[in-house]
């Protein structure tokens, strides 16, 4: 599924279709970007490419850059996210070859592509683009707080890395299936690659966070929904700033709390206990009320990927009953997810 995306002025727009580059990695967990693109933007991926002794696959046709270009690919996407976000020396011949074959290169790594001389020289020589997804627009404005037309849903979380992106994607797809005019609005590197554009919120200077969120989700028709990918957590000791800026700037009419059952400590910061879902609902309403007094919680998204079907159903039912609002695992779908979608649409 490729979620519709219409970039606003000055925002990043990516050249699709993609050739997914898996490098020489042998660890599947490093290829989450490639897997995310395969799962949510499969029709935008013409194939995959590895180098050296790379053994990870996304299950797509193995193509050379020239073959991918002949099938319509416009860019090679670095689909791995290794420790430190670095581009290995062993990848450079393959990446230069992609530029020579007529492909741009798209990267969500921390290192900037143009800071690598071999890539900068090859890109200039062949007239190709080096696109770093984690680069915000050059001219961002501070937020105005002005109420915009259209409707908005924001996914929020009890922590990082527990399903805010997948929840937003699933809800945008479910809205569209019901005939609702809806766009997925990406705020992280993989989400931006899936959608073909977006706003890298974690790379925006703090003063402009809310303004960037306003740019991401502009005025729209009264019955149009923007489903916005959340970032971080309002309770996260390190990342709360981006979460608050996104909340104020997106002015959500509805938010969905994302949680991973069984997680009790903040990931990577074990000294801090995870907040309860109830605490997240309360604080999100209190802070979100500043720019949208009508904000409400549509329900809860539970990442039950570590449980079997029976356990997952029990957890979902128990949480929904305890909280008195719809709870579901969007990836499992079913009646519980249908109820969540209905509640969000109001």
Q: What is the CATH number of the domain that holds 89?
A: 3.40.50.720
pLDDT for 197 equals 86
Q: Residue 10: which residues within 8 A CB-CB, separation 6 or more?
A: 137, 138, 139, 215
Q: Which domain holds residue 60?
A: 12-132
Residue 28 pLDDT > 60, yes or no? Answer: yes
Is the overall model pTM greater than 0.75, yes or no? yes
Q: What is the pLDDT of residues 306-346, one digit of tens each?
A: 999 999 999 999 999 999 999 999 999 999 999 999 999 99
- When pLDDT is averaged across residues 160-187 and rounded to a whole number, the result is 96
Residues 104 and 178 in one domain: no
Q: What is the CATH number of the domain that holds 331?
A: 3.40.50.300
Residues 240 and 189 in one domain: yes
Predicted local confidence at residue 14, as pLDDT: 87
Task: Report pLDDT digits (tens) over 263-299.
Answer: 999 998 999 999 999 999 999 999 999 999 999 999 9
Could you tell me if 202 and 62 lie in one domain? no
Tell me whether residue 323 is in a domain.
yes
Pairing, β 18-21 against β 45-49? parallel
State how many domains the chain has.
Answer: 2
Looking at the structure, tell me whether residues 220 and 286 fall in a common domain. yes
Residue range 126-144: average pLDDT? 93
Report the percentage of the chain scoring pLDDT > 70: 96
69-93 mean pLDDT: 91
Q: Minimal CA–CA distance to 96: which of 114, 119, 113?
A: 119
Mean pLDDT of 173-185: 97
Indicate the pLDDT class of residue 4, thresholds 50, 70 and 90: very low
Token output for 138: 């050059």
Helix (H) or strand (E) holding 75: strand 75-78
Same domain, 22 and 156: no
What are the distances in angstroms from CA 121 to CA 53, 129, 132? 26, 11, 16
pLDDT at 146 over 70: yes
- How far is it between the farthest Cα atoms of the chain? 62
| Residue 139 scores a pLDDT above 90 | no
């Amino acid at each position: 599924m490729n979620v519709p995306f219409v970039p606003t002025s000055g925002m990043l727009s990516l050249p699709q279709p993609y050739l997914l580059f898996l490098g020489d990695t042998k660890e599947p967990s490093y290829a989450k970007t490639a897997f995310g693109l395969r799962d949510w933007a499969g029709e935008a991926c013409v194939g995959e490419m590895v180098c050296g002794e790379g053994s990870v696959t996304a299950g797509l046709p193995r193509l050379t850059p020239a073959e991918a270009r002949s099938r319509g690919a416009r860019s090679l996407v670095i689909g791995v996210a290794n420790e430190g976000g670095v581009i290995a020396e062993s990848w450079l011949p393959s990446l230069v070859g992609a530029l020579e074959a007529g492909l741009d290169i798209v990267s969500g790594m921390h290192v900037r592509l143009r800071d690598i001389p071999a890539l900068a020289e090859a890109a200039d020589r062949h007239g190709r683009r080096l696109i770093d997804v984690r680069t915000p627009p050059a001219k961002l404005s501070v937020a105005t707080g002005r109420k915009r037309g259209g409707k908005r849903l924001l996914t929020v979380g009890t922590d990082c890395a527990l399903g805010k992106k997948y929840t937003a994607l699933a809800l945008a797809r479910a809205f569209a299936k019901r005939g609702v005019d809806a766009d997925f609005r990406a705020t992280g590197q993989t989400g931006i690659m899936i959608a073909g554009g977006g706003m890298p919120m974690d790379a925006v200077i703090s003063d402009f966070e809310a303004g960037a969120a306003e740019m991401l989700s502009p005025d729209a028709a009264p019955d149009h929904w923007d489903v916005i990918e959340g970032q971080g957590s309002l309770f996260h000791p390190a990342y709360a700033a981006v979460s608050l800026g996104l909340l104020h700037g997106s002015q959500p009419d509805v938010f969905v709390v994302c949680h991973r059952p069984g997680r009790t400590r903040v990931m990577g910061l074990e000294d801090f206990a995870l907040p309860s879902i109830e605490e997240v609902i309360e604080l999100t309403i209190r802070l979100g009320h500043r720019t949208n007094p009508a904000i409400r919680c549509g329900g809860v998204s539970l990442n039950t990927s570590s449980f079997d079907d029976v356990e997952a159903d029990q957890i979902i039912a128990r949480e929904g009953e305890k909280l008195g609002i719809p709870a579901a695992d969007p990836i499992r779908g079913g009646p519980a997810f249908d109820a969540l979608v209905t509640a969000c649409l109001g």
